[in-house]
Chain A
Amino acid sequence: MTTLDDDLRDEVASTPPDDEPDRPPSSVRGRGLLGLLTSTDHKVIGLMYIVTALLFFLLGGALATVVRIELYSPGTQVVEPGAYNQVFTMHGSVMIYLFITPVAFGLANYLVPLQIGAKEMAFPRLNALGYWLFLFGGLTMVAGFLTADGPAAFGWTAYAPLSEAIRSPAIGHDLWLFSIVLTGTGTITAAVNVIATVLAMRASGMSMFRMPIFSWNMLVTSVLVLIAFPVLTAASVMMLADRNLDAQIFNAEGGGQPILWQHFFWFFGHPEVYIVALPFFGIVTEVLAVFSSRPVFGYRGLVLATFAIASLSVGVWGHHMFTTGDAATGYFSGLSLLIAVPTGVKFFNWIGTMWGGRLRFPTPMLFTIGFLLLFVMGGVTGVVLALPALDFQLHDSYFVVAHFHYVMFGGSAFALYAGIYYWFPKATGRMLHEGWGRVHFVMTFVGFNTTFLVQHVLGAQGMPRRVADYLPEDGFTFLNRVSTVGALIMAASVFPLAWNVWRSLRRGEVAGDDPWEGQTLEWATTSPPPPHNFDALPPIRSNRPVWDQRHPTRKRARAVEAQAEEAAT
């Protein structure tokens, strides 16, 4: 019998020294399924994260389509109210917990070591553990569909006391809560790893202020995860105790305090909004710089803005609770408005990067422009909602549904698409097809706006969210139809993407190391990168070493500058 220690010793013994780059390191134990299942290679785990999350995205998208079809007309179309409530709950939950959060950590796993010139993540095995917690946690939530009473139906926010066992007895709710505990722990694990990697594994020359913005943002995101997720995880354990052990923590009849759940939840929930935004801000920053042939404009300001957003984001949870009467309106309104400032600064960084540049428009750049146009709309409606007097009318209405989809779909998911088109060549060695990429972009952009623009009006007029039906005399029918048609266009937009990936994996144009004239270190290695990531690193003297290498005169100029700087200090 081997012990863990034996294993470790073997591994240390078999790890090749640095000067033998062509021997695979022990982290890749073999090929095929077993290789995948046992891999601790950050690139393999990163890709598994991304693919798994995208499969959950497909599920979430299918559920969204059911929601939209049901709301096409008054009366029952495809699902009765009970089933509708399960469907919208699972849509929101799958999208937030199983798609957009994990996919960010998938990208981080794949990219952060490459961007900072490291061979591996700091804790490869912990990394694998994080992935498996995510996968099985996710399956636990979705397993609710297999139970007799169906999956959870208390919304993705699981408000008490509706989530207490007497109000929501189905076992699907317990599965949901277990899933939150498991996936939450997985996310915390991943965050610890990213932080350790960024702080400890940077290549020589890669100072903090030479890190690519994506890596910066993942660092800050991970710190936010450490603040936010333990609270959600703990609250879910408390709710499980309420449901199964009669703990009465959130039950007013038993002396508990239902509103406490909302405070716990949103203390997680608002930082979560930035956990699923900052990584994607990172993507668009990189893409804009590369396709404008420019450095990131205002790099330091951008990093500072990220810090500001992260710090403010832990103090604004009450803006989700203005209508509860249990959140100080002045304080939370003020801080929430303030957080718009660093977000606005980022917009100017992005536009400043393009301004005066030399812009190319392959698909990643199209999705990035889409991001800029759509995310700003989610931003300004967020400012509107930060005014309590207006929030009293708009809260829990379709205005909010429109707002957060502009943020999370028009913002994060568009940026994710940009990232997929941008890094696909790095990960697979082949380019995605431009023509299909454009079709995908146009369909998504048109479908998205058709679905969600009209929802602002529906909400302001009086349509509440989370309703299985509405009445003909409400006058909501026409705009709901528009919205449903848009959702069908978006559903169809999956096909050009899927086809593109399928065909390009086989016969896509061969990418080469650096197809986009990249600037950051991941473009300094082969596509796909070898198990040990780099055969040789270019010198790192700025935040875009690959650019410096491609423009040697500038590089020399910089080297001289750097020397002078060193001499001066």
Chain B
Amino acid sequence: MRRTIPARLGRPGLVVVLGAGLAGCGMPDPVTEQGESVRTLWNPTIVAAIAVGAFVWALALWSVVRYRKRNETLPTQVAEHIPIEIVYTVVPILIVAGLFVVGAATTTKVEEKAEDPDVVVDVEGFQWSWQFTYIEEDVLVSGDGSGTDGPELVLPVGQTTRLNLISDDVAHSFWVPEFLTKRDLIPGIDNEIDVTPTETGTYRGRCAEYCGLDHWRMYFSVRIVTAEEFEAWVAENAGGDPVSAEADAPEEGEGSG
């Protein structure tokens, strides 16, 4: 399964640049409902950002070209122009007000919690790996911090999973780039997010909050499976020993000091 990651992500760099610049603007295709909302906000926002940037570039470069010194006559000494000043104060206020409204709407949607999630998983981060506890299903998946694969979080597609994010040592952050979201695990703070996967597949997750020596390789993977596969996986692993984290041999030992 993990072998699919390189296939998904190992696109040649040039294609990434072009593709990112033109269509996707960088963010991966979302694989959750929540992620889709983020993507719906990201696309117009980044276009607006580029447009504003381009507008300022155009004004600045136009002034540079048009008003470069040509002769010795002094330019008019305009020091203010109140109507223009009012316009360039009010227009930005309107723009950010609009952004605020759409931004807040998406944030609410992304943060929405199901009344009764289908699956609940305690996600615990520690220096430097993860442990996933399926409370109802009685399955425990734990990493041991070796290698660069990390433990596997298995989620059923089309169902809503509640992730309780907890840490007892230092701050970490749960990030699956394809979910288009992340949230911190901080001692003393209980965070939780809901995810509703829309596509099966395996994705790499990472710790995004700097947490010390091996932060860089505090990986895990997420495998999204059909409901039947999920039941089978639960049945196979319930009550037993913790699911072995590093099923695959570490790919490279170097740089893992």
Q: A75-B252, A295-B77 are in contact. Are A389 and B37 (CB under 8 A)?
A: yes
Q: A161-B171, A325-B191, A392-B110 are in contact. Are A470 and B79 (CB under 8 A)?
A: no
Q: Which of B59-88 contact A (CB under 8 A)?
A: 59-61, 63-64, 67-70, 73-81, 84-85, 88
Q: Determine which of B42, B53, B213 lies in contact with A380 in the assembled complex, contact meaning CB atoms within 8 Å.
A: B53
Q: Which of B192-244 contact A (CB under 8 A)?
A: 204, 206-217
Q: A301-B85, A387-B99, A467-B215 are in contact. Are A294 and B75 (CB under 8 A)?
A: yes
A461 CA to B13 CA, complexed, in Å: 12
Contacting pair A376 B257 (CB below 8 A): no
In the complex, whether B159 has a CB less than 8 A from a CB of chain A is no
A330 CA to B100 CA, complexed, in Å: 9
A151 CA to B38 CA, complexed, in Å: 39
Counting residue pairs across A and B whose Cβ atoms lie within 8 Å, the total is 302
Q: Determine which of B11, B52, B103 lies in contact with A333 in the assembled complex, contact meaning CB atoms within 8 Å.
A: B103
Contacting pair B186 A388 (CB below 8 A): no
Q: Determine which of A334, A393, A462, A479 lies in contact with B100 in the assembled complex, contact meaning CB atoms within 8 Å.
A: A334
B92 to chain A, nearest CB (A): 4
Q: Determine which of B59, B73, B92, B183 lies in contact with A325 in the assembled complex, contact meaning CB atoms within 8 Å.
A: B183
B32 to chain A, nearest CB (A): 12
A351 CA to B77 CA, complexed, in Å: 14
Q: Determine which of B111, B182, B213 lies in contact with A395 in the assembled complex, contact meaning CB atoms within 8 Å.
A: B182
Contacting pair A159 B38 (CB below 8 A): no
Chain B residue at smallest Cβ distance from A260: B188
Contacting pair A355 B107 (CB below 8 A): no
B189 to chain A, nearest CB (A): 6
In the complex, whether B117 has a CB less than 8 A from a CB of chain A is no
Q: Which of B10, B41, B80, B211 has the most CB of A within 10 A?
A: B80
A326 CA to B165 CA, complexed, in Å: 13
Residues of A within 8 A of B217 (CB): 469
Q: Determine which of A323, A329, A478 lies in contact with B182 in the assembled complex, contact meaning CB atoms within 8 Å.
A: A323
Contacting pair B213 A82 (CB below 8 A): yes
Residues of B within 8 A of A341 (CB): 89, 92-93, 96
Chain A residue at smallest Cβ distance from B251: A471
What range describes how many residues of A lie at the interface? 35 or more
In the complex, whether B16 has a CB less than 8 A from a CB of chain A is yes
Contacting pair B216 A372 (CB below 8 A): no
In the complex, whether A132 has a CB less than 8 A from a CB of chain B is no
A468 CA to B257 CA, complexed, in Å: 11
B51 to chain A, nearest CB (A): 9
Chain A residue at smallest Cβ distance from B6: A473
Contact flags A144-174 to B (C-beta < 8 A → 1, else 0): 0000000001110001011000011000000
In the complex, whether A396 has a CB less than 8 A from a CB of chain B is yes
B29 to chain A, nearest CB (A): 11
A189 CA to B170 CA, complexed, in Å: 35
A462 CA to B203 CA, complexed, in Å: 11
B57 to chain A, nearest CB (A): 6
Q: Which of B166-184 contact A (CB under 8 A)?
A: 168-171, 173, 175, 177-178, 180-184
Chain A residue at smallest Cβ distance from B50: A380
Q: Which of A242-256 contact B (CB under 8 A)?
A: 252-253
Contacting pair B80 A297 (CB below 8 A): yes
Interface of B toward A, CB cutoff 8 Å? 5-6, 9-14, 16-17, 20, 25-28, 37-38, 41-42, 45-46, 49-50, 52-53, 56-57, 59-61, 63-64, 67-70, 73-81, 84-85, 88-89, 92-93, 96-97, 99-100, 103-104, 106-107, 109-111, 127, 148, 168-171, 173, 175, 177-178, 180-184, 186-191, 204, 206-217, 251-252, 254-257
Interface of A toward B, CB cutoff 8 Å? 74-76, 80-82, 85, 153-155, 159, 161-162, 167-168, 252-253, 257-259, 292-301, 323-326, 329-330, 333-334, 337-338, 340-341, 344-345, 347-348, 351-352, 354-361, 369, 372-373, 376-377, 380-381, 383-384, 386-390, 392-393, 395-397, 399, 454, 456-457, 459-462, 464-475, 477-479, 482, 551, 554
What are the 6 closest A-B residue pairs judged by CB atoms, nearest first? Answer: A478-B13, A462-B177, A460-B26, A387-B103, A467-B216, A473-B6
Cβ contacts A to B, 15 pairs, < 8 Å: A161-B169, A162-B211, A292-B75, A296-B79, A323-B183, A325-B191, A326-B186, A329-B104, A341-B92, A351-B60, A387-B45, A389-B41, A396-B209, A467-B216, A479-B13
